[in-house]
Structure 1
Amino acid sequence: MADDRALLEDTHRLRDQLAAPPSWQDPALCFDPGALPPLPEICDESLRRQVFLYWSAPALRTGDDGAPTTPTSGSYERLEGFGDRIINSQSYAVLHRTFAGAPPSSIGNISAKFTCNRTISYLSLAYGSPDRLSHSGGQNLVANQKKTAADLFEAYVGALSESATLPGAVKVEDWLAKLFDKSVWSGVTRLVDNAIARFDKVVDPKTGVVVLHGLRESPTGDPLQVTVLYGPFNQGLGWHAAMHLGPDKVSCGRGKSKQEAEADARDRLYKRVLGL
């Protein structure tokens, strides 16, 4: 629970530091803007310009009616597609190297928190990318669309990759390894520790219900007994989690996986502690 409170505080702090638009969702993971590695320069001048050209940019509009020849012609969208794939693969690779004992599925789930638009858009803000965007969509384009901010960051990564062979260019994989280092991100180690936490497994021979037992930390720091069951319950087949503090059941939850069921129970307990 202390971790959950810390995450909430980190989220508010990050939003304030970056002056995030009120309409944006909170990031899926928080980072320390002061710990981010410097943004490398794109060595190719044409790519450097293209990264910040939205499809409606005046530089891309032709004809008397002001309409673009092709919606994506010359804009950052091609680079954004490349960058998106590079970011996904590199975030997974960094997590896999850092937390070698974690299950691949858990690494994939945490990597998705790194690379979703909710998080990437905040990285884009931290590096000042939205301020450099050329478009004709009005001042509120980025404020109303966090995806645009995220696309800009992905396009920048794509341009870095395409210009990697030029003199003075930074290898994008090396820069992303620093960007996704666990020291930059709050809560990543906790997420992995929870993912690889061990359960004692028991199978009821009569019902076939799988029962997993494990210990977690309660809001007071006392051992919290977590029991996660899989089987045919009155809501159908699935995972159900129960949390006990001593003899008392303090929370329960359900989900499509044991992690989802436990997370549901933990969230419910957190809300009870806060009186929500």
Structure 2
Amino acid sequence: MNGDPECDVAAVEQSIGHVFADRSLLAQALTHASAATPRSGSYERLEFLGDRVLGLGVAHMLMETYAAESEGPLSHRLAALVRKETCAEVAREWGVGPFIRMGEGEVLSGGREKPAILGDVCEAIIGAVFLDAGAAAAEAVVRRAFEPRMLAPSRRLRDPKTVLQEWAQGRKLPAPTYRLAARSGPDHAPRFEIRAEIDGFEGACGAGSSKRAAEQAAAQSFLHREGIEPEGAEPS
């Protein structure tokens, strides 16, 4: 963290809406693997826990809010809310980027703004709150951050890969496949090019700083080329 550690912790706690009894949990949630030590560890284990806690908290909210919906629409809403990009939005809203501990190489490559890292940190913080104060406290943090997104009328429900897969299934076509077409850039700032393919159609390419992002971009490219823009598609 930067400056006075106590002030840094207090600022993050205020943003999250939870004051930690054990602040070492928050420190761990804000520590990237590139800055971890055997004593401090990184956020990876907390992220693993937080991912499950987040899913349960969001599922509970959805069940309460959309009592008449079936499992299918609820699953789409859940997927949109717990996806890494949404978690990264929450981490940005919390303003945790400047407080993430990471190695110099990761800092220079813009690590504090990378959606994958921010999304991981969001989940790790939720996991840290769960360990610090239990399920009710963690769900309260989840509700404060994710309920406005759940209720936003303009929020779209499905990512491009999901839309493309459902489109293919609806036409009894094979499921889309994603092939790595190219990789460039240094290890700390890679660039991936992925080709989305469905038998009988020309493939479509997309690029991104992670394979996941490139796959979404490739699926969006395929959808756009074929004029497939159904309600609920989420931009890449």
- Structure 2 gaps of 5+ residues are 1-14, 158-168, 175-225, 232-236
Of the candidates 48, 64, 68, which is equivalent to residue 26 of structure 2? Answer: 48
Of the candidates 44, 52, 63, which is equivalent to residue 85 of structure 1? Answer: 52
Alignment of 1:33-72 (within 5 A): 39-57=17-35, 60=37
Look up the equivalent residue of 1:104 and give its one-letter code: E
**Mapped contact 1:94–1:180 kept (Cα < 8 A):** no
Say whether 1:175 aligns with 2:141: yes
RMSD: 3.8
Of the candidates 107, 113, 118, which is equivalent to residue 138 of structure 1? Answer: 107
Q: CA deviation at 1:142?
A: 2.4
Instruction: Give the Cα–Cα distance (whole angstroms) in 1 for the partners of residues 151 and 33 of structure 2.
Output: 33
Instruction: Give the Cα–Cα distance (whole angstroms) in 2 for the partners of residues 132 and 126 of structure 1.
Output: 13
**Mapped contact 1:87–1:154 kept (Cα < 8 A):** yes
Say whether 1:129 aligns with 2:96: yes
2:123 aligned partner: 154
Instruction: Give the Cα–Cα distance (whole angstroms) in 2 for the partners of residues 236 and 184 of structure 1.
Output: 32
Instruction: Give the Cα–Cα distance (whole angstroms) in 2 for the partners of residues 54 and 41 of structure 1.
Output: 21
Q: CA deviation at 1:188?
A: 6.6
**Mapped contact 1:83–1:159 kept (Cα < 8 A):** yes
Q: Tell me the secondary structure at the aligned position of residue 51 of structure 2.
A: helix
Which has the larger share of strand?
1
**Mapped contact 1:39–1:127 kept (Cα < 8 A):** no
Quickly say closer, same or farther: Cα 1:49–1:267, change in 2 above 3 A.
Answer: same
Q: Tell me the secondary structure at the aligned position of residue 127 of structure 2.
A: helix
Alignment of 1:192-211 (within 5 A): none
**Mapped contact 1:117–1:147 kept (Cα < 8 A):** yes
**Mapped contact 1:182–1:189 kept (Cα < 8 A):** no
1:267 aligned partner: 229
Alignment of 1:185-264 (within 5 A): 185-187=151-153
Instruction: Give the Cα–Cα distance (whole angstroms) in 1 for the partners of residues 112 and 155 of structure 2.
Output: 31
Q: CA deviation at 1:141?
A: 3.8
Instruction: Give the Cα–Cα distance (whole angstroms) in 2 for the partners of residues 179 and 135 of structure 1.
Output: 25
Q: CA deviation at 1:83?
A: 0.4
Which has the larger share of helix?
2
Quickly say closer, same or farther: Cα 1:176–1:267, change in 2 above 3 A.
Answer: same
Q: CA deviation at 1:91?
A: 0.8
**TM-score, length basis structure 1:** 0.48
- Residues 210-269 of structure 1: per-residue CA shift (max 9 Å, x gap): xxxxxxxxxxxxxxxxxxxx99x7x769xxxxxxxxxxxxxxxxxxxxxxxxxx977279
Instruction: Give the Cα–Cα distance (whole angstroms) in 1 for the partners of residues 102 and 149 of structure 2.
Output: 35
Equivalenced residue count is 157
- Residues 153-176 of structure 1: per-residue CA shift (max 9 Å, x gap): 1110000000116xxx97111332
Q: CA deviation at 1:184?
A: 6.4
Instruction: Give the Cα–Cα distance (whole angstroms) in 2 for the partners of residues 170 and 98 of structure 1.
Output: 18
Determine what percentage of the aligned residue pairs are the same residue: 24
Instruction: Give the Cα–Cα distance (whole angstroms) in 1 for the partners of residues 118 and 150 of structure 2.
Output: 20
- Structure 1 gaps of 5+ residues are 1-36, 61-68, 192-229, 238-263, 270-276
- Larger gyration radius, structure 1 or structure 2: 1
Alignment of 1:103-122 (within 5 A): 103-122=70-89
1:216 aligned partner: none
Q: Tell me the secondary structure at the aligned position of residue 90 of structure 1.
A: helix
Instruction: Give the Cα–Cα distance (whole angstroms) in 2 for the partners of residues 130 and 183 of structure 1.
Output: 20
